[in-house]
């Protein structure tokens, strides 16, 4: 499913949701293939643009896995990595079924080959007492273990390749969000200059050129 780079920056959360949840001025920390991570103070959440459906009106960007209080910055890192992984999966062919739960949405990760939901992201973080171990880090491990949905995306498309590189860069816990954007841009230049470089190799080459 193709989304232009920066889709969430251009299509932020609807004002009704922002106002009702008190999220005015939230920070967008990741934006890959219509999936992102947002933060406002101690609050963290995922932002997801629904898969386009010509039979339905555009539902706009939706909010999921809303955690009202982070324990520390490592939890925010897990949200950013989860957003990047979900964006990477969307680029590889997975689809997302969004189900509204009040102001938030549950995400069903759908394997297009079978039509089955292979993972579910809850609309709201259940909290430590009731969560039963469900958190961004555990969800990240779950979706990372899923197999590719289909053949690789068309990496001859520069926009697609850049988003793939950005998703890979954001998955690295040693790289900050702003640094990941710069790294993806350098890797894109290297990949376009040397077509023998696949995205992971281009990213590693960009890291070496930085040092």
SS3 string, the chain, reads CCCCCCHHHHCCCCHHHHHHHCCCCCEEEEEECCEEEEEECCEEEEEECCCCCCCCCCCCCEEEEEECCCCCHHHHHHHHHHHHHHHHHHHCCCEEEEEEECCEEEEEEEECCCCEEEEEECCECCCCCCCCCCCHHHHHHHHHCCCCCCCCCCCCCHHHHHHHHHHHHHCCCCCCHHHHHHHHHHHHHHHHHCCCCCHHHHHHHHHHHHC
Are 65 and 169 members of one domain?
no
For residue 69, being part of any structural domain is answered with yes
pLDDT digits (tens, 9 = 90+) for 58-116: 789 999 999 999 988 888 999 999 999 999 999 988 999 999 999 999 999 999 888 89
- Write down which residue in 91, 113, 144 finishes a domain: 144
Are 42 and 136 members of one domain?
yes
For residue 20, being part of any structural domain is answered with yes
Are 138 and 166 members of one domain?
no
Domain that holds residue 177: 158-210
Are 83 and 54 members of one domain?
yes
For residue 64, being part of any structural domain is answered with yes
Number of domains in the chain: 2
For residue 82, being part of any structural domain is answered with yes
Are 27 and 109 members of one domain?
yes
Q: In this predicted structure, what is the pLDDT of residue 142? A: 94
For residue 122, being part of any structural domain is answered with yes
Are 75 and 108 members of one domain?
yes
Q: In this predicted structure, what is the pLDDT of residue 129? A: 55
CA separation for the pair 206, 36 (Å, rounded): 23
Reported confidence tier of residue 130, pLDDT bands at 50, 70, 90: low
């Amino acid at each position: 499913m193709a989304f232009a780079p920066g889709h969430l920056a251009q299509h932020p959360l609807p004002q009704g949701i922002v106002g009702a949840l008190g999220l005015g001025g939230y920070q967008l920390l990741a934006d890959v293939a219509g999936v992102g991570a947002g933060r406002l103070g101690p609050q963290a959440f995922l932002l997801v643009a629904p898969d386009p459906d010509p039979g339905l009106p555009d539902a706009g960007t939706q909010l999921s896995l809303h955690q009202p209080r982070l324990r520390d910055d490592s939890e925010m890192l897990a949200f950013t990595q989860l957003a990047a992984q979900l964006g990477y999966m969307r680029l590889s062919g997975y689809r997302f079924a969004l189900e509204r739960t009040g102001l938030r949405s549950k995400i069903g990760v759908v394997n297009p080959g079978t039509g089955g939901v292979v993972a579910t992201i809850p609309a709201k973080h259940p909290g430590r007492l009731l969560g039963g171990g469900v958190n961004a880090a555990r969800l990240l491990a779950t979706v990372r273990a899923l197999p590719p949905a289909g053949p690789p995306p068309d990496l001859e498309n520069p926009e697609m390749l850049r988003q793939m590189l950005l998703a890979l860069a954001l998955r690295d816990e040693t790289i900050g969000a702003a640094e990941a954007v710069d790294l993806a841009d350098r890797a894109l230049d290297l990949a376009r200059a040397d077509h023998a470089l696949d995205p992971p190799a281009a990213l590693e080459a960009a890291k070496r050129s930085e040092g």
